[in-house]
Each structure stands twice: as C-alpha cells, then as structure tokens.
Amino acid sequence: MAGAPARYLVFFQYFGTRYSGVMETKSDQALVGVQNYLERAAEQLKPSAPIKFHISSRTDAGVHALANAAHLDIQRAPGKAAFTGQQLVQGLNHHLRPEPIRILSAQRVSSTFHARFCALSRTYIYRLLLGCAHHSQIPVFERDLCWAPAGGGLEFWEVKVKSRSFLYRQVRRMVGALVAVGQGRLAPAQVRELLELRDPRALPPHAMAPPAGLFLTRVEYSPADLASPSAPAEEELCELS
C-alpha cells in the first residue's frame, strides 16, 4: 500500500517574456504559463499521482521572477523512497531544458504547509533605465528586462517594494505614477486624488508601467513553517488570512 505523499517547497526563477504569466493556462494557447512547464517536467519524474504546483505569487505576462515559490505533493510508487531536495532540483531542471525556468532549491515541509498562505512577505523590484532617447539605445542584454522612459541621464534605477500581498498590477501602477509625476504628466495632487478614489481603473492608461521591468525577488516564510515533517509543527495549519 502506498504511503502518504511527500510535500515539498520549491523556489524557482524564470524570464517571463515568452509566457502568459506564471499561472497555468490551456495548453493550446499561443503562450502558456510557467506552471504548465513546471508540471510537464514533474510528469517526467514518473509519480504515481498527478503533481500540482501551488504557486505563492501570481505574476503577469512579461513579468520575471528571481525567486518565486510553490509547494507540491509527490506520491511515488510503493517501495520507492521520497526524493531528496537535491534529487528533485536536478530532476526538474533536467526536464525543464531549454526553457528559461530553473528550480533553485527544494525541501521537505509538513503536509499542512501552503506556499501562498504561509508567506510572510513578497518583495519586488522594478528596474528603470533612464536617459534612453530611443528603444534601440537599450543595451541588448537588458531588452525585456527593464523600462526605459525618456528623460534624465543614462542610469539604472531600482524601485523596491515589500508587502505580505499585493493588489493586481499594484507595483506597476505605483512605478508608473512615480514616472508620470517625474515627467510632468501627473501632478502630485492628482496622485493623492487617485489614492482617495480607491479605484485602480481611475489611473490614466499612460501611467501604467510595462511588465518587462518587474521582478519578483523574494518570498519569505517563518522558520517554524519550514520545519521538517517530523517536527511538532506538522499538525499546525498556517493561518489562512
């Protein structure tokens, strides 16, 4: 008789340019999600039950991640030992080639751990390249990895934002509003008015930063929630707030 499945927390990264976002989509679309490729790679590990990646943080089409997180349960055939974290990393990365998606780490966690609900914070950075008069001036290795609004001297700026959770496109709206104020297309008083409206649709379309400059850089968890499956924390469910 098969034993209980092993639950793992994995951290992974990807360039989001060629994907519809991180979340799974129908496989017949022109662009599919990063999750499609993760689960396709997991199928090659020959589990005895389908594997589902439960992803911590949604990212949209064109948005990148230096470190997103997910948990997954792996049921192996009777008599086969659970994968070690290193075995899982090597196996998934082998089957993810040549996609620009890589598993950074994997570790066993308790059966009550949830990658989304247990997260204490998410950190994003938005990369701006100032001073480009034309798109062709963006260094070739930086294309699709930053936003180059006109104005200023040629230099990189990074906007760093950390919170437990974010609203849809919140960071891109924040950065876009800052750039619009700097360029004189929005007045500071207008930003206050937009905040008081509490309606994201009120932000002018030109004040939305494009996805290419946005990177999810870190998802943070409590050490207690990362306790090994044999630890007392096994029976404690993460707060679902």
- Once rounded to an integer, what is the mean pLDDT over residues 213-230? 90
User: pLDDT (tens digit, 9 = 90+) per residue, 45-60?
Assistant: 999 999 999 999 999 9
Query: Would you place residue 198 in the very low, low, confident or very high pLDDT band (cuts 50, 70, 90)?
Result: confident
Catalytically annotated residue among 60, 73, 144, 199: 60
Catalytic residue list contains 60: yes
Q: Are strands 101-109 and 64-74 parallel, antiparallel or unpaired?
A: unpaired
Pick the CATH number of 6-118+218-233 from 3.10.290.10, 1.20.1440.230, 3.30.70.580, 3.40.50.300: 3.30.70.580
- Once rounded to an integer, what is the mean pLDDT over residues 57-78? 96
**Using CA atoms, how far apart are residues 8 and 210, in angstroms rounded to an integer?**
33
CB neighbours of 72 closer than 8 A, spacing ≥ 6? 7, 8, 10, 42, 51, 52, 53, 54
**Using CA atoms, how far apart are residues 196 and 161, in angstroms rounded to an integer?**
21
Which one, of 212, 207, 211, 210, lies nearest residue 146 by Cα? Answer: 212
Q: Where in the chain is the domain with CATH 3.30.70.580?
A: 6-118+218-233
Rounded to two decimals, the pTM is 0.88
What is the pLDDT, as a whole number, of residue 230?
60
Residue 23 has pLDDT above 50, yes or no: yes
